[in-house]
Structure 1
Amino acid sequence: MSASLIYDLAPIGSIVAWSDGTPRPPERFKKKLAAWKTRNSQGRLIRKEGERSLGANSLSPEFMLHEGDLGANGVIAIRIHRTFSLDSTLTFKVIERPALGSVRVFDRAGSRAELVHLAVDRRAAEEWLTGHGHPHAVLDEVTADEIAADHIEGRAAA
C-alpha cells in the first residue's frame, strides 16, 4: 500500500513495514545489505503530522516510525526514527495493529504528540509512567470505534 494509505488508515501504535521491492542481497555483501536494510525494514508508527507551513514553504503530511534503539545495559543512547512523506515511492504494509483496550502513552497533547510507549492496559501505562520522565504525558486508549475506522469502503489497512 502507499504511504498516503498508511497515513489515512493505520492507527498510531501499528507496526508498519516498508520495502522498495528489491530482493535481499546475500549476507556476504555487507555494504549492499546495509543499504538494502535502510529501504526494507519495519517500525512502530509513532506520529502522523498533517500539512504545515514553514515560512513561505508548505510541507506535505508525513508520518514517523520508530525502527529501534541503540544502547547497552538498559540505557538507550540513540533512537532510530524514520520519517516518510506521502509521496514516498516505497511500498508499505501494516504488520500489526494495537490491540483493543491497549493504551498509548504520548509525550504531550496536540498535533505534534509522539508515541513513547504502548501498554497492554491503563494500569500498565500508569505504572510505566511512574518510572519514566514524561511530565506532560497523555494516555489514549485504543477503542473499538478506532479499530472499526480502519475499514474504509471494505478495505483494511493491511
Structure 2
Amino acid sequence: MPAYNVYDAPLGSLIRYFDGTPKPPARFTKKLAAWKSRNGVGRLVRKQPCRERATYTAPASITLHEGDFASGSVILVTVMRTHSVDSDLSFEIVERPKIGMVRVLNRIGDDDELLNLAESREAAELWLAKAGYSRARLEEVTADEVSADVIEGRTAA
C-alpha cells in the first residue's frame, strides 16, 4: 500500500516499508547497505501534514523510529526515518497498538510525536518520571479507536 494510506494509521503502529527487490547476499556489503536503507520496519512516531512555503511545498510525511544503539543503559544513537507520502516505496501496517496501551506524546509545533508506547498507564507514568519530559501527556488506546479501524477497513494484515 502507498504511504498515504499508512498516514491514517494511529501513532504507535508498527510499519514495514519495502521496495520489492530481493535481499542481496551478505558478501555484497554496499548493495546490502543500500537495500537496508529501502527495506525495514519502524514504529510510527510522527505524522506531518503538507507544508506550503513561499518557495516550495513539502508533501505530508511519516516518521518511523527504527531503533536505538546503546552502550549499557545509555542511548547513544536513535535511528529515525522520515518518508514522504508520495514515496515510491510500499508500506504495510504490521501491528497496531492494542486496547489499554498508553501513548506518551509530546507536542512539537502543531504535531504530536510519540515518545513511548507503554503496556499500561502505570508503565507510562514510570517511563515519564524517569525520562523527565515536563510537557508530555498520556493517551490511552481505546476500544473505539481500534473498532473504528476495523470498520473502516484499516486493520493490520
TM-score where L is the length of structure 1: 0.91
1:116 and 1:109 map into 2 onto residues whose CA distance is: 11
What do residues 70-120 of structure 1 show as CA deviations (whole Å, max 9, x unaligned)? 221111111111111110110111111111110000123763221110001
Letter in 2 for 1:69: D
2:109 and 2:140 map into 1 onto residues whose CA distance is: 16
1:39 and 1:16 map into 2 onto residues whose CA distance is: 13
Alignment map for 1:74-113 (pairs within 5 Å) = 74-108=73-107, 111-113=110-112
1:138 and 1:25 map into 2 onto residues whose CA distance is: 43
Cα contact 1:15–1:44 (8 A) shared by 2: yes
Partner of 1:2: 2
- Equivalenced residue count is 157
SS of the residue 1:98 aligns to? coil
Q: Cα–Cα, structure 1 residues 155 and 43, in superposed 2: closer, same or farther, change >3 Å?
A: closer
Cα contact 2:94–2:156 (8 A) shared by 1: no
Report the RMSD for the aligned CA atoms in angstroms: 1.7
Letter in 1 for 2:4: S
Partner of 1:44: 43
User: CA shift at 1:29, angstroms?
Assistant: 1.1
User: CA shift at 1:144, angstroms?
Assistant: 1.2
Structure 2: 5+ residue runs without aligned partners? none
Query: Matched residues, percent identical?
Result: 52
User: CA shift at 1:53, angstroms?
Assistant: 2.6
Structure 1: 5+ residue runs without aligned partners? none
Partner of 1:62: 61
Partner of 1:26: 25
Partner of 1:118: 117
Partner of 2:141: 142
Cα contact 1:16–1:42 (8 A) shared by 2: yes
2:55 and 2:156 map into 1 onto residues whose CA distance is: 34
1:157 and 1:4 map into 2 onto residues whose CA distance is: 15
